[in-house]
Amino acid sequence: TQVLRKSLQRGVVLSTGSFLVYEAHKLISGFAEVHASFKVEDVIEQADYLYGSGETEKLYRLLVQHKNSDDAELLWRLARSSRDLAQLGSTSAEEKKKLTYDSLEYAKKALEKNESNFAAHKWYGICLSDVGDYEGIKTKIGNAVIIKEHFQRAVELNPKDATTIHLIGIWCYSFAEMPWYQRKIAATLFATPPTSTFQEALRYFHMAEEADPNFYSKNLLFLGKTYLKLNNKKMALLWLSKAKEYPAQTEEDKQV
């Protein structure tokens, strides 16, 4: 009887021990999941701070560590930072090309992970356009409709995103000023080639400004350039002056 009692007690102890191990495992696993969740949020918070501070290289080094992430928010930010690094004057031509193609892959992966992420659509469109610079005018024009579709989808998902509205304006401006030989290429690629006007481009640039006033030096520049195309020098001077006075924080601001 004593042996049986001891055996039962030992069994209870083992069962309790197993239960405690199981509960500890659940607790640790739960903590790991929460920790992982917080880690993604922490990385995003740090990334946004670095982006706002114009720390392009530090931002890229932070985010490239997470290139195998399944989080669309991290991936589109990595696409953006790769592109920003490619734009720096200190980046070699070889590295610029690699970063440009990498950025497209990161944006594509972000879309695969979350099709409803407006920023993933926006940066996919931007990066696809950049890759066209390396693959020739035929590819660039051939991708034009796809690029615009992604920009429009981004605006559908987030109608207040001024940058995407600006990008549709850039798309319209590009087709409005397209030279004859490029129009001829477009005619071979599309049954009905995409076209636009400077008036349409102007409408989008103003819409972007209304959504978020003074948000982007390049929008101010293109308002000025578009008014010049429409031969309105008074309005062109107004917007070009605003672009000139814009506080330059990024490389692109300096170029503007």
Amino acid identity for residue 110 in this structure:
A
CA angle 108, 54, 242 (to 5 degrees): 100
pTM for the full model?
A: 0.78
pLDDT at 79: 98
Q: Please, are residues 238 and 221 in contact by the beta-carbon 8 Å criterion?
A: no
Amino acid identity for residue 39 in this structure:
K
pLDDT 10s digits, 182-193: 888 888 888 888
* DSSP string across 140-157: HHHTHHHHHHHHHHHHHH
What the chain holds in terms of domains, given with CATH numbers, is 31-116 (1.25.40)
CA dist 185 and 169 (Å) reads 22
Q: Please, are residues 141 and 189 in contact by the beta-carbon 8 Å criterion?
A: yes
pLDDT 10s digits, 96-112: 999 999 999 999 999 99
pLDDT 10s digits, 5-62: 433 333 333 333 433 333 434 333 443 433 444 589 999 999 999 998 889 999 999 9
